Amino acid sequence: MAYFDWTPDLDSGIALVDEQHKILVRCINELHEANSRKDFAAEGKIIEDLIRYTVEHFTDEERLMDEAGYSLSKQHKAIHQRFVSKVGEMQQSHQAGQDIGQTLLDVLHSWLFTHISHHDRGFIAVVQKHLAARHAENETIAAEEAVNAAFVRPRRSGGGFATVADMEADSPQHAPKAQA
């Protein structure tokens, strides 16, 4: 049985964020399994991996917030930093031989659930709006490139590319009419 089950209400709607959150949940569940087996060495490795991946996740999340211009980005980053510091302190306790497995699990579960359910909800709408605008912009650029590809072709002579005006001039309806 999993210690922490991912449920649809935790989905943010941002694929990268959701996938990373699910990986963090898997790490917490792995830590629970190691703690249940009393495998101190495995706990240490999982804690190390969890911290490394959490920092990577926070970096991605913070980049998204900054790109979207999220007004509370600074405060959200401070929450991230406090969490990394707290888990780092617990890692040091573990390395010193203390059995912090269950305490750490409780902290991780509570923090991640609360963070996803409450703190992350604040920036999600802003990031989604930004990503939608960027997607629309990319679609516009792709459409413009498709139009240009359709209407710009290599010139038959002289090198370079023919423009729409060149193509119109080459068309039969624009050819000089023969004098009778």
Per-domain residue ranges of the chain? 9-136
Q: Which residue has the higher pLDDT, 139 or 21?
A: 21
CB of 130 closer than 8 Å to CB of 70 = no
pTM, entire model:
0.73
Instruction: Evaluate if residue 39 carries a pLDDT over 90.
Output: yes
Nearest to 51 by CA among 7, 95, 97: 95
Q: Just give the CATH number of 9-136.
A: 1.20.120.50
105-143 pLDDT, tens digit each: 999 999 999 999 888 988 999 999 998 887 776 666 666
